[in-house]
């Protein structure tokens, strides 16, 4: 295991494997959620599921063996929503044409990563914005956990609401499982037990299945899910998705393109936005997790950012070739890192589990999202400490940070939060005549974000 330098990183084989398992269990729900968001757009949900599993496996292996980082690549709810709502619905592209856009965006993203421009985007963010992203991501992760447990509902065009707790039912039970698991994590951490998040997952699972069966809310058969043998969807996946972004995507995309200013602008801006959205989301997640776990240098920079982003962009390119929408550095990576994952072996372990999951479609439903909710709330709470580092005496720093922190969880989009935060940082500092606080790359990013929101 010399390639992972386990001894030098102060870890060991067992800890890394357990951390990788923790990450996979925590994010397994995404293998159900993201394909369901795109099902019915000319490609079966099972096809998207298989494509995502293979893409995430390749991306995690690249992250572990090339970047040698414990970050994990996975499906992104925000990027999947962008893929479905903007590329498929607003711009009326077919699924394969949208994949072609993702492919070209992935190539640009890879160039940004390898030339270091992706890192400069990271450096261009103000200190307040960086702290706002970290805190906002913490709120986002915690709210996902609260929603997955049933404690919060709404958010889709309406206000968030707390669940009705006056009567006992399955929802009440899952909420109690989440709080029970959260209390267990706190106790495990307080008494100094190793791997509190993983132990919390186990405790939460025992509460869910043991308590649910004892109370008659679950059937005993739920303990023995039917894996169905080797998945028979690979033939369908190959026919519907493999290299279709070239044959049915890029060829028809450019063939049907109108040769006027708007037609060309839509293609160019669409491709650039695919690249920038993927870059921005991953940079935000990497910074937030790295800051929370003391992985930044004295200048507030992350040393492994270039290869981390290159691994992500390579996975996005490969994914578009086999039928998967964009993947990004997953916020759920924090679960494995909190479970003492310190090397690329964590990511490699998760990647192998993604590959195994491709053969068994029901595998992602073995662990209910209510079981993993406690870990997500715990991780989110640990990331909120970044708020204290925001300079609230400087309006040019504090207002963009606060807006970013609020928008990320309430729009369920890391991208939208960062985009408006960047624009506000520029506008407010111009009004305060603090031009030196604005960096040129911020302006370039803001222009493309502005064109995107105006275009759609």
pLDDT in tens, 304-328: 888 999 999 999 999 999 888 889 9
- In this prediction, residue 386 carries a pLDDT of 79
Contact 278, 415 (CB under 8 A): no
Q: Is the pLDDT of residue 432 over 80?
A: yes
Contact 69, 295 (CB under 8 A): no
- In this prediction, residue 262 carries a pLDDT of 60
Packing angle, helices 117-124 and 95-114, rounded to 10: 80
Contact 359, 231 (CB under 8 A): yes
Q: Cα separation of 148 and 353, whole Å?
A: 22
Q: Which residue has the higher pLDDT, 237 or 202?
A: 202
Packing angle, helices 170-190 and 127-149, rounded to 10: 130
- In this prediction, residue 57 carries a pLDDT of 95
**Which residue is it, tokens 């039917």?**
226
What are the backbone angles phi and psi of residue 327, rounded to the nearest 5°? -115, 160
Question: Residues 76, 78, 80, 83: is their CA dihedral positive or negative?
Answer: negative
83 — pLDDT class (breaks 50, 70, 90): confident
Predicted confidence (pLDDT) per residue in 217-264, tens digit: 877 766 665 555 455 577 777 677 777 777 777 777 776 666 555 667
Q: Is the pLDDT of residue 395 over 80?
A: yes
Q: Among residues of the chain, what percentage have pLDDT more than 70?
A: 90
Average pLDDT, the chain: 82
Q: Rounded mean pLDDT of 1-14?
A: 82
Q: Among residues of the chain, what percentage have pLDDT more than 90?
A: 17
Q: Cα separation of 398 and 406, whole Å?
A: 12
For 333-354, b where at least 16 C-beta lie within 10 A, e where not — what string?
bbbbbbbbbbbbbbbbbbbbbb
Q: Cα separation of 68 and 308, whole Å?
A: 8
Q: Is the pLDDT of residue 157 over 60?
A: no
- In this prediction, residue 53 carries a pLDDT of 92
Q: Quick one: DSSP state of residue 40?
A: T
- In this prediction, residue 353 carries a pLDDT of 93
- Give the domain ranges of the chain: 9-455
CA 96 to the chain's CA centroid: 22
392 — pLDDT class (breaks 50, 70, 90): confident
Q: Is the pLDDT of residue 147 over 90?
A: no
Tokens linked to 423: 């624009």
171 — pLDDT class (breaks 50, 70, 90): confident
- The length of the chain is 456
Packing angle, helices 414-431 and 440-455, rounded to 10: 120
Residue closest to 247 by CA, chosen among 325, 316, 321, 326: 321
Residue closest to 119 by CA, chosen among 290, 304, 285, 252: 304
Q: Which residue has the higher pLDDT, 440 or 345?
A: 345
- In this prediction, residue 364 carries a pLDDT of 57
Choice among 64-78, 190-204, 361-375 with the minimum mean pLDDT: 361-375
Contact 404, 166 (CB under 8 A): no
Predicted confidence (pLDDT) per residue in 8-59, tens digit: 888 889 999 999 999 998 888 788 778 877 877 778 778 888 899 999 999 9
Q: Is the pLDDT of residue 348 over 90?
A: yes
CA 11 to the chain's CA centroid: 25
Q: Rounded mean pLDDT of 55-66?
A: 94
Give the three-class secondary structure for 280: helix
65 — pLDDT class (breaks 50, 70, 90): very high
Cα within 13 Å of Cα(273), Cβ side = 26
């Amino acid at each position: 295991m010399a390639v992972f330098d386990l001894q030098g990183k102060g870890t060991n084989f067992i800890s890394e494997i357990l951390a990788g398992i923790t990450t996979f269990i925590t994010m397994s729900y995404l293998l159900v959620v993201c394909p369901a968001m795109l099902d019915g757009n000319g490609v079966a949900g099972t096809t998207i599921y298989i494509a995502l599993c293979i893409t995430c496996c390749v991306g995690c292996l690249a992250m572990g063996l090339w970047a040698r980082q414990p970050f994990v690549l996975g499906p992104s709810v925000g990027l999947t929503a962008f893929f479905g709502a903007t590329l498929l619905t607003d711009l009326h592209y077919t699924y394969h044409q949208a994949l072609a856009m993702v492919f070209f965006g992935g190539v640009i993203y890879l160039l940004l990563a390898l030339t270091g421009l992706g890192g400069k985007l990271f450096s261009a963010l103000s200190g307040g914005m960086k702290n706002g992203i970290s805190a906002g991501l913490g709120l986002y992760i915690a709210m996902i956990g609260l929603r997955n447990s049933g404690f919060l509902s709404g958010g889709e065009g309406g206000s968030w609401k707390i669940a009705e707790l006056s009567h006992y039912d399955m929802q009440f039970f899952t909420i109690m499982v989440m709080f029970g698991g959260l209390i267990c994590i706190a106790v495990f951490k307080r008494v100094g037990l190793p791997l509190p998040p993983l132990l919390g997952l186990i405790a939460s699972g025992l509460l869910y299945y043991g308590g649910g069966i004892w109370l008659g809310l679950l059937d005993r058969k739920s303990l023995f899910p039917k894996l169905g043998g080797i998945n028979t969807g690979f033939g369908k996946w190959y026919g519907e998705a493999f290299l279709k972004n070239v044959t049915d995507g890029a060829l028809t995309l450019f063939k049907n393109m109108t040769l006027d200013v708007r037609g060309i602008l839509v293609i160019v801006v669409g491709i650039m936005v695919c690249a920038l959205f993927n870059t921005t989301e991953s940079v935000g997640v990497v910074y937030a997790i790295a800051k929370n776990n003391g992985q930044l240098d004295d200048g507030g920079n992350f040393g492994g950012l270039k290869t981390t982003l290159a691994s992500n962009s390579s996975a996005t390119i490969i994914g578009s070739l086999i039928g998967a929408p964009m993947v990004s550095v997953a916020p759920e990576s924090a679960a494995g890192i909190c479970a003492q994952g310190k090397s690329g072996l964590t990511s490699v372990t998760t990647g192998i589990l993604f590959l195994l999951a491709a053969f068994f479609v029901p595998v992602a439903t073995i662990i209910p999202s209510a079981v993993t909710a406690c870990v997500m709330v715990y991780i989110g709470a640990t990331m909120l400490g970044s708020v204290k580092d925001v300079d609230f005496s400087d309006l040019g720093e504090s207002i963009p940070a606060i807006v970013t922190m609020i928008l990320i969880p309430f729009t369920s989009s890391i991208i939208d939060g960062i985009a408006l935060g960047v624009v506000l940082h520029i506008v407010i500092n111009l009004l305060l005549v603090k031009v030196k606080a604005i960096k040129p790359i911020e302006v370039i990013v803001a222009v493309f974000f502005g064109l995107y929101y105006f275009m759609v």
